[in-house]
Amino acid sequence: MGSSECIIKIELTINIFKFHKRLIALAIIVGALPFIYCTGAYAREESSFVSSQQSESKWLDDYSKPVKLTYNAQAKVQAAYLWRGLYCGAFNTQGNANIGYGGLYFDVWWNAGVTDWTFKTFLPEVDITLGFDRWGLNVFVYYVHNFNCGFFDFTNYPDKGNRLEADIRYTLSSKIPLSILWGTRIAAADSYLNAAGDTIRAYSSYAEISYTQKFPKDWSLSGAVGITPWRSFYTGFQRDFAVCNVELRLRKDWTISPHCGMMVQGQLCINPSALAADKSTAVWKPSNPFNQSVNANLTFGVYLIQ
């Protein structure tokens, strides 16, 4: 390799690194918005805000709500990054900012944390979502970028890379908060080899049914069961239909001001698919968390009330 080619590659690597640093910094700033906002929340009385009770009611019993500009943000610190029954990392901070009008919305979400408790590997993530949420129907497409390859590079996932997914969620009402979700990957290196050696596109999909029961003094208990309907990423492309997520979440909220809230949440998650794969009982493996069939998480967060 010539010296000029080496210099070009080095300069390109440095430029990409600088760009990623800027994007990470921007994501952290966006995620910190709830903290910044809460410091001045007591002094603000904006008529555009509505009560927290109204903001929680988005479903079938609220057809008459006027169409207007909406915006919200939140940030949280977690002991683990759990997603759809999978362990995706250890200690992390997460946050998002969302703006919408008439049901259409745009959301930027970020995660910054370590992959395990050795604190040797840092893998940030940014998700960009565009969707429509009204009458209990939430249809959205989101792009996941993991910073270990170029933007919109879907060639080497799941070990590295990005993905694009289309999801649809339907919730009955605020009075009956039963929710059904379906999500399918539409771009990623999402394939496996069959017995004949042919490459099969998996279209890895996940379906979930969940319910949240609210109690006095801002306590709530949520339960969810998630499945993958065919061979997919969620089982390492090793099994067909599988239950991959059974979880419970206990949450306590506090209203800090008319514009700001705080929450603490505990989560227990069991992956029955992982249990069936190794034919063992539920185990906790802190030395190899990605193979755990049992996971737990503790979350602290603040958020804007709209």
Whose structure tokens read 């992390």?
92
CA dihedral 289, 290, 296, 299 (to 10 degrees): 100
Residues 6+ apart with CB under 8 A from 54: 65
**Fold (CATH) for 3-304:** Porin (2.40.160)
Predicted local confidence at residue 176, as pLDDT: 85
Predicted local confidence at residue 61, as pLDDT: 52
Distance, CA of 72 to chain centre: 16
Predicted local confidence at residue 290, as pLDDT: 58
Predicted local confidence at residue 267, as pLDDT: 96
Burial class (CB in 10 A: 0-12, 13-18, 19+), 89: buried
3-state class (DSSP) for residue 125: strand
Predicted local confidence at residue 149, as pLDDT: 73
> What is the 8-class DSSP label of residue 282?
-
Q: Which residues of the chain have pLDDT under 70?
A: 1-66, 156-160, 277-291
Predicted local confidence at residue 191, as pLDDT: 86
Write out the two tokens for 168. Answer: 């649809």
